[in-house]
Amino acid sequence: MEKENLVEELKALIVKNLKLEDVLPGDIDPAAPLFGSGLGLDSIDALELVVGLEKTYGIRIPDEDVGKEAFASVNALTDYILRNKK
């Protein structure tokens, strides 16, 4: 249940944080890649998302290797946060 809630929360956070005007949280496929294809986000967008996620969940995404793992998809991001949040 916690995981499902977090998935929805993250979809909303991504849309709000990145000011995605043509995307609704419900449009985001939680299994699809966040960057590169799908939403069409670029790696610079990811910087702001990193800062927002670190602030909101008290996690740390220290470098791009961790970032790649965490941003693989909304599902992956959810798992990463559940494992690492304070």
Q: Which is nearer to another protein, 1 or 44 (CB)?
A: 44
- Give least dist CB 51 to another protein, A: 5
Residue 21 CA to residue 79 CA, distance in Å, equals: 26
Asked if 62 interacts with another protein (CB under 8 A), we say: no
77: which 2 tokens?
A: 């991001």
Asked if 82 interacts with another protein (CB under 8 A), we say: no
Residues 10 and 74 sit within 8 Å (Cβ to Cβ): yes
Collapse the DSSP code of 58 into the 3-class scheme (helix H, G, I; strand E, B; otherwise coil) and give the result.
coil
- Determine the size of the site formed for another protein (CB under 8 A): 7
Judged by CB under 8 A, the residue of 24, 31, 51, 82 near another protein is 51
Asked if 1 interacts with another protein (CB under 8 A), we say: no
List beta partners, residue 41. 35
